[in-house]
Amino acid sequence: MKDKEGTMNELNSKDIANALQANVKLILEENKKVADKIEYSQIASVIPFIQNAERIFLIGAGRSGLALRSAAMRLMHLGLTVFVVGEITTPAIGKGDLLIAASGSGTTSSIVKAAEKAVAAEAKVIALSTTATSPLAELAMHVAVIPAAQKQDHGTTISEQYAGSLFEQFILLLTDAIFQTLWSIDGTPAEELWKRHANLE
């Protein structure tokens, strides 16, 4: 392995710029492929669950969790009561509530355990996953399948990106699309939604 100076000499700024451009194109193309393959009827079925929930809880591990935090913020802007699992102020889940759980494999132990507890508390569970056959899927009332690579799929058939990046990226895009759809149904002007934005920052 070359030192930093040697690497910089070998890869000049133009090479790096070209590599960045190529990788942005790769990421966008892979997300478009997922967008073209996904069953939107499965996603449409998520909307009534959100609309009818008394409270919404979101859980995901790692980067999937970060994507769901973004979704939680947007759902809050719509005036929904939203909690991110693991935050110190997140209350107990119960009957009438909805847990939205993201796990590419559907086997992440912390996600599956949370889903088990939600079901035991008579809450509903929605799964965002790459597969409809998993421990998480068995607990969910509905599974929205995202045809992206799982973290340990190190081949390049589905994605050339590293460790489930495509799934995590598409979670963000998909939940933004869900927000946009809910917003169009709700019809509240953007100026009104913005009044709910954090003002203690």
Higher pLDDT, 156 or 89: 89
Q: 11 pLDDT band (50/70/90 cuts)?
A: confident
Exposure pattern of 177-199 as b/e (b: 16+ CB <10 Å)? ebbeebeeeeeeeeeebeeeeee
* From 39, 138, 168, 201, active-site residue: 168
pLDDT at 188: 95
Tally Cβ neighbours within 10 Å of residue 33: 15
Q: How high is the pLDDT of residue 3?
A: 53
Number of separate helices (H) and strands (E) present in the chain: 9, 5
What is the C-alpha to C-alpha distance for residues 148 and 154, in angstroms, rounded to an integer?
12
Nearest residue to 178 via CA among 142, 150, 149, 151: 142
Is the pLDDT at 157 greater than 90? The verdict is: no
pLDDT recorded at residue 1: 45
Compute the average pLDDT of residues 178-201. Answer: 95
Does the pLDDT value for residue 22 go beyond 90?
A: yes
- Note the pLDDT of residue 181: 98
Q: CATH number of the domain at 8-194, please?
A: 3.40.50.10490
Instruction: State pLDDT tens for residues 159-183.
Output: 889 878 999 999 999 999 999 999 9
Q: Is the pLDDT of residue 114 over 80?
A: yes
Give the mean model confidence (pLDDT) for residues 57-67. Answer: 96
For this structure, is 168 an active site residue? Answer: yes
Q: Is 58 helix (H, G, I), strand (E, B) or coil?
A: strand
**Domain extent listing, the chain:** 8-194
Residue among 201, 186, 171 nearest 67 (CA): 171
pLDDT at 151: 55
What's the mean pLDDT in 21-27? 96
Q: How far is CA 152 from CA 128, 142, 163, in A?
A: 17, 24, 6
Predicted confidence (pLDDT) per residue in 142-155, tens digit? 999 999 866 556 55
Residue 130's pLDDT band, with cuts at 50, 70 and 90, is: very high
